[in-house]
Chain A
Amino acid sequence: MKTTNLTAILVASTSLYVAAPTAAQAEELVLYCSVQEEWCRAMSEAFERETGIEVLMTRRSSGETFAQLAAEAEQPRGDVWWGGTGDPHLQAAQEGLTEEYQSDELANLQDWAVRQAETANYRTVGIYAGGLGFGYNSDLVEENPPACWADLLDERFADDVQVANPNSSGTSYTMLATMVQLMGEEEAFEYLATLHNNISQYTQSGSAPIRAAATGETAIGIVFMHDAVAQTVQGAPIVAVAPCEGTGYEVGSMSIIAGGPNPDSARMFYDWALTPEAQEIGAANNSFQIPSNMNAATPEAAPRLEDITLIDYDFALYGSSEERTRLLERWDADIGSLSQ
């Protein structure tokens, strides 16, 4: 009796020893995604189908993801940070949170995407671009639609404009940096303080304002123009506007997280995400950014950078840790603390 029991235990435990290693070898990729959830999902699924690697994806705003990388620096839990405005990616590169990697696809990328990679010593790379602007709800704003940044200060839009909080959203930080470059810092903060009277809410996610405008919860949402176009394409009464004074733009970026748990899968994803096929997934999922691979088709509805008055956005300066922290602190002090 005793021996049989012992044998049984022995057999059971050896089988455990043998079975366990195979189970642990399933390939995975932990993806931190900072674009629209819809697009994140489609990318994860496409990569899973292509390679059989299981993708564990979380979507968070780029500012939040940056904070997460900083918080997890001791024990990184993510592999790739894909999407989101370039500034926090550059800051992460500067702080050594992301890893240097040069993909073979680099030769096929647009200038601005390669420049982004060079600025960061190849710790990040551009994957798409899009201009900053705003969208208004044409049911709510019937006459005299706003065409310039200055128009947003109009009293008729009191409590009717939404923009994200620049602390959490890269979109909103791009707006802050754009204003500073367009007007000069003092004037920019004066403008934002005046605009504050018209702001109903600073959202967490960068594209939430345009979604609110689409349902009519607010009249105007300050977002990237491709986010506004996405709403129009889906049938919402949204008109995208490229402000007349000129505007900034983002270079959406991708970085490999330093010390992540699955470095091989990370590189595989990185290379794959720069291919034309992977970059065309966006357009099929209501995301109308301009892809960075020259061989990828630019979506029909995408707002072309050529049609927008663009400022010469200084990515190196405004993506630097010091400048970003300083501007955000000033925003907290001057704008964030104002009464609503």
Chain B
Amino acid sequence: MTLKLTSDRAGIAWLGLLALSLVAFPWYKGAPIWQGPAASALSEGMSGHGWLWPLIAIVVALGAATFTRKWQQSNIALWLTLGAMFLYLWQGFAVGLRGPSQAWVGGVFEAAADGQTGLGWGGFLAGAALVGLLSDLIASRGFCRGERFASFCITAIVAALTAFVFFPILKLGLAAFVDTDGNLALGTFWARITAPDLWGLNCLVGGGRCGVVINTVILGVLSATLATLLGLALALLVNRTDFRMKRALRAISILPIITPPFVVGVAIILLFGRTGLVTSGVADLLDVRPGRWVYGLPGILIAQVLAFAPVTFLVLLSTLEAINPTLEEAARTLGAKSMKTFRSVTWPLLRPGLAAAFLLAFIESLADFGNPIVLGGGYEVLSIKIFFAVVGARYDLGNAATLAMILLALTLIAFWLQMRWMGNKSYVTVTGKSDAGLASPLPGVLKIGVFAVVLPWVIFTLAVYIIIVTGGFVTDVGRWDLTPTFQHIVTAFRFEFEDGLQLYGSAWDSMMTTLWVAALAAPLTTLIGILTAWLVARQDFAGRRAFEFGTMLSFAIPGTVVGVSYVAAFNVPPVDITGTAAILIICFVFRNMPVGMRAGLAALAQIDRSMEEASQTMGAGGLTTLRRVVLPLIKPAVFTALVYSFVTAMTAVSAVIFLVSARHNMATAYIMGRVEAGEYALAIAYSAVLMIVMIVCVVVIQGIVGTRKLGRRKELQGKGQVPEPAE
């Protein structure tokens, strides 16, 4: 039984789904799905929710329109669908939880005074069906050259981005202009945004504290500068010297990516805190009183540089590798000393890489939440301030929204600078011409400098990770009571067998939720990311540039801002999903999707279109070509996207911290609570377990995805061996 969704059948199917969603599924949340028609939009409409009638009426009209000839190309169908979409949105926003949002709605519909809850099964299904119907209609009118599958993907992704990226940000922007009672208050906004504790410059002119915005920028600039320098040193070491342990160095630099937040901060406290190993050692040596210097700017700086150096390292390494060695060789041949060559040839060519690395680290520093909250002391930054405005004792969403807008503006400025810097000048050195020259070795002075920077970093990183690995298995690492024990693991992960498996450990709930959320979010993220990449790279459609830019924008928004915006947008109907696992998954999918997309774009760029064209010539549709031809060829990108989204879902904290609830707690939020309460050992033990779980999962993902099999004959590749005669 093959039922092909050809031309008009697809449209009818979407319309049928739409009708079904209105009559056969519960429209509102809370009603279980088996209540079916009894709680559907139709019966709700009959029992007083009159604002649902216009939507039902227009869907009936759409049904009537299908009897006309070529209804899919007709203007009537398109306008009716757009009208249905409008009415769908209107019914959601017209009536809030506690009553109508506009006075006239209350006047027309009496029941509006009782309010309505968020959308449920039927409501969401109707939204999906409307999107599908619209995609079908525009495809019939020639969008995407009539390719239904591509048209649906684009419409669905645009709808999802609008709902889960732009709508929350818009709602957050509005929240900034509203006072605690919900009235428009420009005065309050002005007072909030000009507050002296935001912009104060006291610390620069001597004495006093700076405003939180200034603090954030100072931290960002310092941390990005140091991280870029360290990254440059590492890149030079790997690319321009005969250093032997290059592989080990690369491995170490991957570690921060799978390290849960907070533990690095804790390890730094254990090393440099007042009773820390290093501080007390130095204090004993010099016979001074150990201080609390690490709390505040210095501590956050150390932690951030440690975390961001791998990113800058990778960026600068690729820049260094791309510099055409013939240029340096030419300089040497013309008689320049190695220092002169480095200064006048290598350095200028490195500049765009340096700028990119600096801005990346700057943006990461703005978004960082875990390190400042552990090591901040009295040093306040925006992400922390936003957090306490929402979660702290003074709940003030308006203030949080204002601060979030400032943070977003800073980030977007940095992104814009990066684009501008990279866009204008030409640094092309890789051309078609021969680049068989030899890169000039590093000047002696620089080499010593590089080692002087890298060596302490290696020792420090090792010290931090030794603490992370062992700290969870000793009695109290905070007081340096180093008796080995499994007590903390038992506290976290205890289980018993009495009528089946009973999980009593305190960490089980968060661990299970985290694994579930990560396991569900990773494939979804990958799917949407790769699909987006395929659409951008392989489909021609109006608004492709804007589409690409829109998807990247969701990546630029700092996690804290995303978290607050979700609280602002999804705490009330129509989409009332705070406190569910769905909001966590959605948050991860749309935050990490651009990474999958980038990976997909890079992979697709290497693959010639002719294979897909061949597939299509032979009669395969868009979906079949994607599944049978494209996907097997871009397996490495799929792997990257899966691993990245999985690992991020397990270690991300800045957005999640706003979205967790008693029912759905995440590992990182749990660890944060333990760190705050001073239970360092438990936090470290849990983190160690998380890291092991992540490594195991990455291996499993590798096994599932498998490797790309290109039909090349191995013997002919590489090392110039003589091909053996076939048997």
Contacts and interface: CB of A to CB of B under 8 A. Distances in A.
A61 B661 CA distance: 15
A311 interface: no
Interface string A9-38: 000000011001100100000111000110
Nearest to A173: B393
B663 A30 contact: yes
A121 interface: no
Given A24-B32, A37-B674, A77 B295 contact: no
B34 A2 contact: no
Given A67-B392, A236-B479, A201 B662 contact: no
A298 interface: no
Given A45-B504, A74-B98, A204 B197 contact: no
A214 interface: yes
Interface in A211-239: 211-212, 214-218, 235-236
Contacts of B612: none
A308 interface: no
A63 interface: yes
B1 A37 contact: no
A21 B33 CA distance: 10
B82 to A, nearest CB: 33
Given A2-B1, A64-B393, A67-B393, A21 B34 contact: yes
Interface stretch (A51-59, A144-152, A299-307, A314-322): A51-59
B242 to A, nearest CB: 44
Contacts of A59: 673, 677
B722 to A, nearest CB: 58
Contact of A218 (B274, B479, B491, B677): B274
B298 to A, nearest CB: 14
A7 interface: no
Contacts of B1: 1-2, 5
A235 B295 CA distance: 26
A74 B673 contact: no
A131 interface: no
Interface string B504-528: 1010010000000000000000000
Contacts, number: 120
Contacts of A21: 32, 34
Interface in A185-226: 200-205, 207-208, 211-212, 214-218
Interface in B657-674: 661-663, 665, 673-674
A8 interface: no
A75 B97 contact: yes
A269 interface: no
A20 B635 CA distance: 38
B329 interface: no
Contact of B378 (A5, A48, A167, A340): A340
B703 interface: no
A16 B677 CA distance: 44
Contacts of A207: 677-678
Interface string B258-300: 0000000000010001110000000000000000100100000
Contacts of A202: 378
B97 A217 contact: no
A208 B676 contact: yes
Contacts of A71: 395
Interface in B549-608: 572, 576, 579
A267 interface: no
Given A24-B32, A77-B661, A204 B292 contact: no
B723 interface: no
Nearest to A167: B393
Contacts of B275: 215-217
B32 A217 contact: no
**What's the dominant secondary structure at chain A's contact region?**
mixed
Interface stretch (B100-108, B201-209, B218-226, B420-428): B201-209
A74 B378 CA distance: 34
Contacts of A56: 509, 662-663
Contacts of A78: 662
A339 B205 CA distance: 14
B231 interface: no
A36 B471 CA distance: 22
Given A16-B34, A77-B662, A215 B478 contact: yes
Sort chain A's interface into a size bin.
35 or more
A216 B274 contact: yes
B674 to A, nearest CB: 7
A141 B715 CA distance: 75
B665 A77 contact: no
Contacts of B676: 203-205, 208
B377 interface: yes
Contacts of B491: 41
B714 interface: no
A224 to B, nearest CB: 15
B627 interface: no
Contacts of A75: 97, 576
Nearest to A78: B662
A218 B32 CA distance: 54
Contacts of A58: 661-662, 665
B712 interface: no
B552 to A, nearest CB: 32
B391 interface: yes
A200 B273 CA distance: 13
Contacts of A271: none
A235 B475 CA distance: 12
Interface in B176-214: 197, 202, 207-209
Contacts of B273: 215, 217
B662 A57 contact: yes
A41 B494 CA distance: 12
B295 A205 contact: no
B38 to A, nearest CB: 12
B679 interface: yes
A68 B207 CA distance: 36
B530 to A, nearest CB: 30
Candidate in A32, A45, A67, A159 with the most chain B CB atoms within 10 angstroms: A67
B478 to A, nearest CB: 4
Nearest to B680: A215
A75 B679 CA distance: 32
B662 A217 contact: no
Contacts of A328: 393-394
B395 A211 contact: no
A211 B682 CA distance: 14
A183 interface: no
A78 B292 CA distance: 39
A36 B663 contact: no
A20 B395 contact: no
B392 to A, nearest CB: 5
6 contacts: A57-B662, A64-B393, A77-B662, A201-B295, A207-B677, A235-B481
Q: What 5 A-B pairs are tightest by C-beta distance, nearest first?
A: A211-B678, A63-B393, A216-B275, A340-B378, A17-B34
Given A24-B32, A205-B677, A208-B677, 6 more contacts: A36-B677, A205-B676, A215-B273, A217-B292, A340-B209, A340-B377
